[in-house]
């Protein structure tokens, strides 16, 4: 059987798509609205993010790794990712698919390193103040938004371009909103299972309403620039924006922090369908 780098890369991209398909139904719905140009690249970005998250929060510990081993595995994953960015190949198929995307779309170590730094924080820090929250969210979520923006603008190009400042701001704010929404949804589980407080709510440095106000502000800023994205990306980003806007409204109406708020399947399908017909993202709070 003849083998080649394109064959290997195609298998790696398919492996990344499988990872995302198993872990996230909501993300899977939104990503299907992307055009064929950016779609596989977004899957590879999120596959690497998912693998790193499992190292620090789930599968590694359940496999019996102690904290020192978990740190070592995370460090090795970062080192392999950075090496693959430089050489264009990895025996880890998720890393290989990510590196292929990064090299084509202009995702560099300046975005990769902060992401792994935030993942490493989860091994040491259990309670965040305002400054450490902002630093953590930048690395864990805002840089992921910036990676996606690089894909949206540069997938399929021969010379990656730098995004406009308003798009950079929108990508960062959308990533921050997504992260804070998930922090609120998982607040009880994070505290009870992982012993973490990302938002400072338990220490009463901020209130739940403060966090929701910040989320709505972030969503509004992101909403304003979605129309400036390439046409084959807008529906998917609108869908993701609107799903999280709906979650934010449901969090406003839910007083019990122990309840993990969800968007029912019917409502989720309606949001995705609305985005699919290019109605544009809805106004936050509408």
Q: Is residue 173 part of a domain?
A: yes
In sequence order, which residues have a C-beta less than 8 Å from that of residue 233 and are 6 or more positions away?
Answer: 34, 35, 38, 152
For position 278, what pLDDT does the model report? 61
From 282, 277, 41, 13, select the one nearest 153 (Cα to Cα): 41
Report pTM.
0.91
Q: Residue 13 is part of a domain; what is its CATH number?
A: 1.10.600.10
* Domain membership flag for residue 282: no
Residue where the block lists tokens 């440095």: 205
Average model confidence (pLDDT) for the chain? Answer: 90
In a domain, 285, yes or no: no
Residue 227 lies in a domain: yes
Res 202: pLDDT: 61
Q: Is residue 284 part of a domain?
A: no
Residue 283 within any structural domain of the chain: no
Q: Which residues pair with 197 in a beta bridge?
A: 127
Tens of pLDDT along 133-190?
Answer: 999 999 999 999 999 999 999 999 989 999 999 999 999 999 999 999 999 988 877 7
Residue among 123, 107, 101 at smallest CA distance from 53: 123
pLDDT per residue as tens digits for the range 44-57: 999 999 999 999 98
Q: Which of 103, 55, 51 is nearest to 82 (CA)?
A: 103
Count the Cβ atoms, other than its own, within 10 Å of residue 260: 12
Token representation of residue 211: 């966090």
Quote the CA–CA distance of 138 and 114 in Å, as a whole number: 8
Burial of 212 (0-12, 13-18, 19+ CB in 10 A): middle
Q: How far apart are CA 220 and CA 169, in angstroms?
A: 12
| Total number of domains in the chain | 1
User: Which structural domain, as residue segments, surrounds residue 41?
Assistant: 5-276
């Amino acid at each position: 059987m003849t083998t080649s780098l394109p064959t290997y890369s195609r298998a790696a991209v398919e492996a990344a798509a499988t990872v995302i398909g198993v872990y996230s139904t909501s993300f899977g719905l939104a990503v299907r609205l992307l055009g064929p140009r950016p779609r596989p690249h977004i899957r590879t970005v999120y596959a690497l993010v998912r693998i790193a998250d499992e190292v620090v929060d789930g599968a590694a510990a359940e496999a019996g790794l102690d904290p020192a081993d978990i740190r070592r595995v995370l460090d090795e994953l970062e080192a392999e990712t950075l090496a693959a960015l430089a050489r264009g190949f990895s025996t880890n198929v998720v890393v290989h698919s990510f590196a292929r995307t990064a090299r084509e779309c202009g995702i560099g170590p300046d975005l990769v390193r902060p992401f792994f730094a935030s993942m490493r924080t989860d091994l040491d820090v259990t309670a965040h103040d305002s400054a450490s929250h902002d630093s953590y969210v930048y690395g864990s979520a805002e840089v992921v938004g910036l990676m996606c923006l690089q894909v949206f603008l540069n997938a399929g190009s021969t010379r990656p371009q730098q995004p406009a400042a308003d798009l950079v701001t929108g990508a960062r704010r959308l990533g921050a909103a997504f992260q804070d929404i998930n922090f609120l949804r998982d607040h009880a589980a994070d505290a009870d299972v992982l012993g973490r407080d990302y938002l400072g709510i338990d220490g009463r440095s901020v209130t739940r309403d403060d966090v929701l106000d910040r989320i709505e502000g972030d969503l509004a800023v992101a909403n304003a620039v979605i129309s400036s994205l390439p046409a084959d990306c807008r529906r998917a980003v609108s869908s993701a924006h609107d799903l999280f806007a709906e979650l934010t409204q449901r969090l406003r109406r839910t007083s019990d922090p122990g309840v993990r708020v969800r968007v029912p399947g019917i409502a989720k399908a309606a949001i995705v369908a609305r985005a699919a017909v290019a109605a544009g993202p809805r106004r936050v709070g509408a």
